[in-house]
């Protein structure tokens, strides 16, 4: 098998459609699909290994919440096709290929409960907000509804950016939110009082240093799906895969300096 074919195969294994397809076509619901491209020497195989169980649990949890009728199956088919296309386009896009593999995160949209938990943690806050790795833009739209201005999403995948802008246009928020195709590691975050992230633990570990160095003293960070590995949250909302964690940068800096 060529290196390119192996790489693409591993990326496909990490995608939402593959996990959903494998799960609903397995004979035993207790069996987790195994990567047919598995190779101990391949860095791609290890990139998502720590996230695989949590991600699959989250996807399946969202499907178990409701039955799929004819319209639901149509939405699933269309969504799966879009996700596959976005994933393959992301792999082939020059800007996305320049991102180190360990910093690439498979796209999984936030559930309604996750959005609700983030909204609860942001209650009483105001000012600007940036969502790092904004995906289809739903967190940015929710922030705009809550009055955060400007509400900005940073996302490298061009197809997810188009999807996010379409969602904003559809509900009349096109001029109230902004989605930018920029590398979050190169973005100056000093102008944002609020940060939201739905990223992998490996990325959060590296992101801690940047946030501590750049955010203003009164800033707050909300993490969904995974907490920051080395930080103690000031507040937690929700349970299981829908849980969200809030962090005050001032308290984090005091703890970091002590």
Classified as helix, coil or strand, 31 is coil
How far apart (Å, rounded) are the C-alpha atoms in residues 233 and 235? 5
Residue 194, both tokens: 């609020």
Q: pLDDT tens digits, residue range 34-68? A: 444 444 444 444 444 444 444 445 545 555 555 55
Q: How far is 223 from 236, CA to CA, in rounded Å?
A: 10
Q: Using omega within 30 degrees of 0 as the cis cutoff, is the peptide bond preceding 150 cis?
A: yes
Tell me how long the chain is: 258
pTM value is 0.64
Q: How is the chain split into domains, by residue range?
A: 3-103, 112-257
**Per-residue pLDDT at 256:** 77
pLDDT in tens, 136-162: 999 999 999 999 999 999 999 999 999
Contact 185, 156 (CB under 8 A): no
At 203-229, the pLDDT tens digits run 999 999 999 999 999 999 999 999 999
- The torsion defined by the Cα of 59, 61, 65 and 67, in degrees rounded to 10, comes to 60
Residues 6+ apart with CB under 8 A from 8: 88, 91
CA–CA gap between residue 107 and residue 135 (Å, rounded): 7
How many other CB atoms are found less than 10 A from the CB of residue 168? 22
Q: How far is CA 159 from the centre of its chain?
A: 15
Distance (Å, whole) CA 249 – CA 253: 6
* Spatial distance between the Cα atoms of 176 and 193, rounded to a whole number of angstroms: 17
Q: What percent of the chain has pLDDT over 70?
A: 59
Q: What span, in angstroms and rounded, lies between the C-alpha atoms of 140 and 194? A: 11
- Which tokens sit at 28? 């035993």
Q: In terms of CATH architecture, what is 112-257?
A: 3-Layer(aba) Sandwich (3.40)
Which band of pLDDT confidence, cut at 50, 70 and 90, is reported for residue 76? Answer: low
What are the structure tokens assigned to 99, written together?
A: 């991102």
Q: Is 108 helix (H, G, I), strand (E, B) or coil?
A: coil
Rounded alpha-carbon distances, angstroms, from residue 102 to 56, 80, 251: 19, 24, 29
What pLDDT is recorded for position 175? 87
């Amino acid at each position: 098998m060529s290196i390119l074919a192996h790489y693409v195969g591993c990326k496909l294994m990490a995608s939402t459609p593959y996990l959903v397809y494998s799960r609903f076509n397995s004979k035993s619901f207790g069996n987790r699909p195994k990567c047919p491209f598995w190779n101990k020497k391949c860095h791609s195989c290890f990139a998502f290994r720590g996230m695989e169980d949590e991600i699959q649990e989250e996807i399946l949890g969202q499907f178990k919440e409701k039955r799929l009728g004819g319209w639901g199956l149509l939405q699933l088919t269309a969504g799966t096709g879009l996700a596959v296309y976005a994933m393959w386009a992301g792999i082939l896009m020059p800007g996305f290929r320049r991102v180190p593999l360990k910093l690439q995160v498979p796209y999984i949209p936030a559930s309604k409960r996750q959005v609700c938990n983030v909204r609860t943690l942001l209650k009483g806050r105001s000012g600007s907000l940036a969502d790092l790795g904004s995906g289809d833009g739903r967190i940015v739209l929710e922030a705009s509804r809550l009055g955060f201005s400007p509400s900005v999403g940073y996302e490298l995948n061009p197809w997810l950016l188009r999807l996010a802008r379409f969602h904003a246009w559809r509900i009349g928020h096109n001029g109230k939110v902004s989605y930018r195709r920029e590398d979050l590691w190169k973005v100056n975050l000093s102008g944002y009082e609020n940060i939201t992230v739905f990223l992998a633990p490996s990325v959060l570990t590296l992101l801690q240093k940047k946030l501590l160095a750049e955010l203003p003293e009164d800033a707050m960070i909300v993490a969904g799906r995974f907490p920051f590995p080395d930080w103690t949250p000031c507040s937690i909302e929700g349970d299981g895969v829908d849980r969200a964690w809030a962090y005050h940068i001032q308290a984090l800096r005091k703890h970091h300096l002590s």
